[in-house]
Amino acid sequence: MTIKNTRIVLASRPQGQPVAENYRIETEAVAKLKKGQVLIKVIYLSLDPYMRGRMSKEKSYADPIPIGGVITGESAGVVIESRSLRFQEGDYVCCPSGWQSHFVTDESDLNVYPVDPSRVPLSAYLGVCGMPGRTAYFGLIREAKPYASETLVVSAASGAVGSVVGQIGKMLSLRVVGVAGGPEKCAWVKDELGFDECINYKLGDLDEALREACPDGIDIYFESVGGALSEAVAQQLNPGARVPICGYISSYNAEKIAAARTPFDIFGELPNPPWHKFFLVFDYLAEYGEANTKLVDWVANDKIKYRETIVEGLEKAPEYFNWLFEGKNFGKLIVRVAVD
Ligand code: NAP
Ligand code: FER
C-alpha cells in the first residue's frame, strides 16, 4: 500500500500577518525507504512563533525557508517503518518534520530522538518538556541567574515558555509577576500556576499595575513580547537588573521588522541600561539532557503544570498559526495531525 504524504509549503513570503495565499498544500506518495532510513507518522505538530521569522527572506541563525519548501517545525510521532537498527516500528519520537503528515529521515539525524509517552503525554514533548520548556529553563537559570526573593516579571505568562519560566521562578523562591492578555489567562497563571500576581495588560495603565505588583522594583524581566510592556518595565528596573531577551512577538508581523523598535532599543537607550541579551535555546544544545530530565520529572510529579490548545487538522495549520499573534492560544499551540 502506498502511503500519501501531505505537506504545507511556502508559496510566497508574507507581508505582515501571513495569509492563506502564502501557503500551498501538496500531496505525494512516500518513496520506498532506503537502508538506514525511517518513516515517521506525525501525530502532533508544534506551532511556534519563530516560524514566522523563517518565512521571511532575512537570514538569522538558520536559513529562510525557500519558496516551495516545507514550513519548518517540530513534531511528535510514531515510527511506522524502519530500515534502521536505531529505531523500531512503534517507537515514539520527536523530529524536525516540518508541516507535513509523514517524515522520512536517516538514522544519523540526531534531531530525531526517542520520547516516552508513558511518563508524560506525547504532546507535552513539544511544549513543557520540549523546546519551549528548555527555553524557559536555560533562559531563567543560566541567562538571568536569579537569587531567591528577587522580583521576576514574565511576559506572555500563560504561554508555552512563560508558564514554565514563572513556575521555575517560584521553585527558586522568587516573587513572580506574570503579564498576560485577559482575565481567564491571568486567573490560571495566578490560581493554578502559583504566580504571586498576574497583570492583564489589556486593561491599560501598565505603569500603575506594575508598581502595585512589584513594590520592590523589578530585578529580572523575561522578555518575550516587546512594545508597550517593555517600555513600562524599563522604568521600574532595579540596579543590577537582568533582561534575558527570549523574543519580541509583538513585532514579528511588522511589515519591516528591521525598522521596528525592539527591546534592544528600549533597554539599550536607558541612562543605566540593565544587562540585556538575546539568547537562543540552541546555545544550550549540549546540555539539553539536564533540562529534559528535570522537566519530565517536574511534570510527572505535578510540580509543573501546563496547558495546551490542541487544534485539529494539518490543512488548517496556517490559520491556527496566526492564533499565536492574536493570543487565541491558551498555553502551547499544537495541531493534531493524526490519531495515535
Ligand atoms: P506562546 O506564549 O505560547 O504564544 C504567544 C503568546 O504571545 C500569545 O498567546 C499572546 O499571549 C502573546 N502575544 C502575541 N502577540 C502579542 C502582542 N502583540 N502583545 C503582547 N502579547 C502578545 O508562545 P511561546 O512559544 O511560548 O513563545 C513566547 C516567546 O518566546 C516568543 O517571543 C518566542 O519567539 C520566544 N521563544 C524564543 C526562543 C529562543 O530560543 N530565544 C525559543 C522559544 C520561544 P497573550 O494572550 O497573553 O497576549
Ligand atoms: C524564537 C524567536 C527567535 C526562536 C528563535 C529565534 C527557537 C531566533 C532568531 C534569530 O536567531 O535571529 O522563538 O525559537
pTM to 2 decimals? 0.98
pLDDT at site 172: 98
Q: Give residue 282 CA to ligand 2 midpoint distance, Å.
A: 9
CA distance 158 to 291: 20
Task: Look at ligand 1, atom 16, and give the residue with the nearest C-alpha.
Answer: 250
Ligand nearest to the CA of 228: 1
Nine-digit cell at 184? Answer: 481567564
Q: Is the CB of 230 under 6 A from ligand 1?
A: no
Nearest residue by C-alpha to atom 14 in ligand 1: 325
User: What is the distance in A from the centroid of ligand 1 to the CA of 247?
Assistant: 7
| Beta-bridge partners for 7 | 26, 100
Q: What is the pLDDT of residue 256?
A: 80
Nearest CA to ligand 2 atom 2: 50
- Give the residues surrounding ligand 2 with Cβ less than 6 Å away: 49-50, 53, 60-61, 247, 280-281
Instruction: Give Cα separations from 303 to 61, 78, 193, 206 (angstroms).
Output: 33, 28, 9, 30
Q: From the CB of 158, is ligand 1 less than 6 Å away?
A: yes
Residue 301: its pLDDT value, please?
98
Length in residues, the chain: 340
**Which ligand has the shortest distance to the CA of 284?**
1
Q: What domains can you pick out in the chain, each with its CATH number?
A: 4-127+307-336 (3.90.180.10), 131-282 (3.40.50.720)
Decide: 162 in ligand 1 pocket, CB within 6 A.
yes
With 0-12 CB in 10 A as exposed, 13-18 as middle and 19+ as buried, what is 340?
Answer: middle
Return the best residue to mutate from 225, 230, 323 for the ligand 1 pocket (most ligand atoms within 8 A of CB): 225
Intra-chain end-to-end CA distance of the chain, in Å: 20
- For residue 139 and ligand 1, the question of a CB distance below 6 A is answered with no
In Å, what is the CA distance from 113 to each residue of 222, 321, 326, 338?
Answer: 29, 25, 32, 19
Helical (H) or strand (E) element with 61: none
The alpha helices in 79-141, defined as continuous H runs, are 131-138
Residue 331 CA, closest ligand 1 atom number? 3
pLDDT at 204: 85
224 lines ligand 1 (CB under 6 A): yes
For 282-296, what is each residue's pLDDT tens digit? Answer: 999 999 999 999 999
Distance from the alpha carbon of residue 332 to the mean position of ligand 2, in angstroms: 17
Instruction: Fill in the DSSP letter of residue 192.
Output: I
Q: What pairing do the DSSP bridges indicate for beta strands 275-278 and 37-46?
A: unpaired
Give every residue of the chain whose pLDDT is below 70, as ranges.
Answer: none
Ligand nearest to the CA of 281: 1
